[in-house]
Structures are given as structure tokens and as C-alpha cells.
């Protein structure tokens, strides 16, 4: 019965943590800790769970309180640190900007979901948009492009710019 409850919660996408405890040296019980239905403790999202979710699922977990935007950002940043030396996918880290976004409660349909923008036509105020060229680095937009502003209004947490070939 307990194993069925664990499987059902995982199937529904509720993040839970199974903790084994030896109650009397003869029986083993499993206690589920989750913010949904039991305010005992908050489960921490593992990276393996994070990569199985799309942006909609991640935003639903943030909205339900099953995971915090900070935890999602941590997962995204940790993976970018692991993968970027091999892929060179992220040309500009925006961790400080992302953390600044998290100082206020995120709002919008994708509130708290980490997101990367392309380093072309997706201008972020105060950061150069290089279009993959070092010659463009001296141009720094003073305002967000319309699409970036829409991403921010949707609650996405922008934590970096992705690379592209020159022009």
C-alpha cells in the first residue's frame, strides 16, 4: 500500500522524498515528505526530476509550492557548469541577474522557470548582444527587446545567453 502511494505520487508528478526508518528493528516504514497535503517538510528537486519536466510542469510545481524558483535555478546553474565546458553553449552567464529577479516573487504563467536566451536579437538591457561576433560586444542595449520583456513578464528566470555562429 505504501509503495503504491509512492508510485502514485511520482506518477502525478508530486516531488516527494522517501525516507526509510527502522521503527522497531522488525518493520520498515516509508514516510513521505511533500508540501502537498503535508506541511512537514519541503522536498528538494533532484536534477533527474528537473530534466523530466517541461516549462509548464516546472511552473506548476512552483505554483503548488512543491519546489521553489531558487531550487530550479540551482538545478539549471549546476547543469550549465557541468555541461558548458564541453558544449560551449552558454556565452554569457546571467546568474546575478537571475538571482536579482528572484528577490521579488515571480509572477506569470511560467513563474520561476529558468530560461536561456539566444545572444542575437534577444537584447537584455545592460548586457551586450554579440550576434556571435566580438565586434558587436561594444554595443549594449539600454532596454530589453520586446521578446525578452515578454519572457520576463511571463515569469521566466533568465540565467544566461546561448552561443551562436558569427552572423
8 Å CB contact between 89 and 162: yes
Whose CA is closest to 17, among 37, 33, 30? 33
Whose CA is closest to 152, among 108, 118, 119? 108
Which one is predicted more confidently, 154 or 44? 154
Indicate the pLDDT class of residue 32, thresholds 50, 70 and 90.
very low
Whose CA is closest to 50, among 64, 63, 62, 40? 62
Indicate the pLDDT class of residue 43, thresholds 50, 70 and 90.
low
Average confidence (pLDDT) over 39-46: 54
What's the confidence (pLDDT) of residue 51?
86
Whether residue 50 is predicted with pLDDT greater than 50 in this model: the reply is yes
pTM for this entry: 0.72
CA-based torsion, 31, 32, 37, 39: positive or negative: positive
Average confidence (pLDDT) over 59-70: 93
Indicate the pLDDT class of residue 139, thresholds 50, 70 and 90.
confident
Helical axes 69-87 vs 55-64, angle rounded to 10°: 150
Other C-beta atoms lying within 10 Å of the C-beta of residue 122:
18
What's the length of the chain? 167
Whose CA is closest to 48, among 82, 75, 83? 75
Whether residue 30 is predicted with pLDDT greater than 50 in this model: the reply is no
100 burial level (CB within 10 Å; 0-12, 13-18, 19+): exposed
Amino acid at each position: 500500500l505504501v509503495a503504491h502511494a509512492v508510485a502514485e505520487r511520482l506518477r502525478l508528478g508530486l516531488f516527494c522524498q522517501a525516507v526509510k526508518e527502522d521503527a522497531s528493528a522488525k518493520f520498515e516504514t516509508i514516510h513521505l515528505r511533500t508540501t502537498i497535503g503535508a506541511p512537514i517538510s519541503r522536498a528538494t528537486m533532484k536534477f533527474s526530476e528537473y530534466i523530466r519536466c517541461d516549462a509548464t510542469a516546472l511552473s506548476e510545481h512552483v505554483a503548488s509550492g512543491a519546489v521553489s524558483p531558487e531550487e530550479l535555478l540551482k538545478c539549471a546553474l549546476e547543469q550549465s557548469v557541468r555541461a558548458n565546458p564541453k558544449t560551449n553553449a552558454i556565452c554569457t552567464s546571467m546568474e546575478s541577474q537571475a538571482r536579482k529577479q528572484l528577490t521579488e516573487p515571480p509572477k506569470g504563467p511560467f513563474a520561476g522557470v529558468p530560461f536561456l536566451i539566444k545572444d542575437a536579437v534577444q537584447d537584455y538591457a545592460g548586457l551586450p548582444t554579440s550576434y556571435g561576433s566580438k565586434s558587436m560586444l561594444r554595443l549594449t542595449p539600454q532596454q530589453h527587446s520586446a521578446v525578452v520583456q515578454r519572457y520576463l513578464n511571463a515569469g521566466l528566470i533568465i540565467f544566461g545567453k546561448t552561443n551562436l555562429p558569427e552572423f
